[in-house]
Amino acid sequence: MTAVPQYFAILFADVSGSTSLYEKLGDQRALAAIESVLAELRKSVAIQRGRVVKTIGDEVMAVLPSADTAMQAACDMQNRVAAIPPVENVRLAIRAGFHFGPAIEEAGDFFGDAVNTAARMAGLAKGGQIITSGATVEALSPLLRGATRDLDAMAVKGKQDEIRIFEVVWRDSEDLTTLAAREASVSTHEPTLTLTYGEHTFTLGAARPSASLGREATNELVVADKMASRVHCRIEYHRGKFFLADQSTNGTYMTVEGDAEIMLKREQSMLRGRGVLSLGHSSAAPGAEIVTFVCG
């Protein structure tokens, strides 16, 4: 069975100028310096509930659950590396790039558009810089979006159309690893998620943070689809975001407006914007019972 793409935030970070580092410090000291940087990068990923997929030489590839967590991890990386004392008067630095989009996980590795685009973003970055795409900036929460700067539209290898390139202004802001928590206290708007199925409407938020969907009458939203499991999936509100976790036999099909449909099977994904859910089969399948969602 062909794997179905799902949405992930992919982050690449590598040590800037590592070749000259080896020339100045020698192999042993340069290797030790690079390993000290990589150790800090791993910490940044772990703090944001991500995981390092692989380390190749002086580069780390990581996967994170959302655009926000990828940006916070990248900023934390830069702050941590900036705090490392110079090694024999050599200042260590990293360049980082990330992108939120569809990718396929196979045997613990990731492939697809999000991986390719994230790698391109990292390739455009200079030492001490974080680069991301316009599509990723659109997926950021408002406060984090405000810490980005539009650079230009560029032709990126592997892409037919030009894409907008943004820089994350991590130096001019406070530690961005705390911004998501601060946003909740600064913003007067309390996020909500409205689910609609036929004549039934259900709203989630801080006051009502979770709901289950499925055929069984005990679910908050009962969906009468023969392909749905008794308790098919669950939606949870966490730190201003809504996450759908599939618990079913046949999978949950999710379409975010403007994107291709993806399938979740015993996995979770963040809900954003507006779109539709179908339990057990594609929303295009005959007889599919459609649940619409709107994040507000």
Mind listing the pLDDT tens digit for each residue in 83-138?
Answer: 888 888 888 999 999 999 999 988 888 998 899 999 999 988 989 999 999 999 99
Q: Identify the pLDDT of residue 183.
A: 44
Q: Give the whole-angstrom CA distance, residue 273 versus residue 293.
A: 8
Q: Give the whole-angstrom CA distance, residue 131 versus residue 62.
A: 15
Q: Pick the residue with more confidence: 22 or 253?
A: 253
CATH class, 193-295 region: mainly beta
Pick the CATH number of 6-186 from 3.40.1710.10, 3.40.50.410, 3.30.70.1230, 3.40.710.10: 3.30.70.1230
> Which segment of 211-220, 256-265, 287-296 scores lowest on mean pLDDT?
256-265
Mind listing the pLDDT tens digit for each residue in 33-71?
Answer: 999 999 999 999 999 999 999 998 889 999 999 999 999
Mean pLDDT of the chain: 86
Query: Who contacts 27 (Cβ-Cβ below 8 Å, separation ≥6)?
Result: none
Q: Are strands 109-111 and 130-133 parallel, antiparallel or unpaired?
A: unpaired
pTM, 2 dp: 0.59
HEC per residue, 150-192: EEEEECCCCCCCCEEEEEECCCCCCCHHHHHHHHHHHCCCCCC
Helix (H) or strand (E) holding 76: helix 67-82
DSSP code of 88?
T
Exposure on the CB side of residue 235, measured as CA atoms within 13 A? 29
Q: What is the domain partition of the chain in residue ranges?
A: 6-186, 193-295
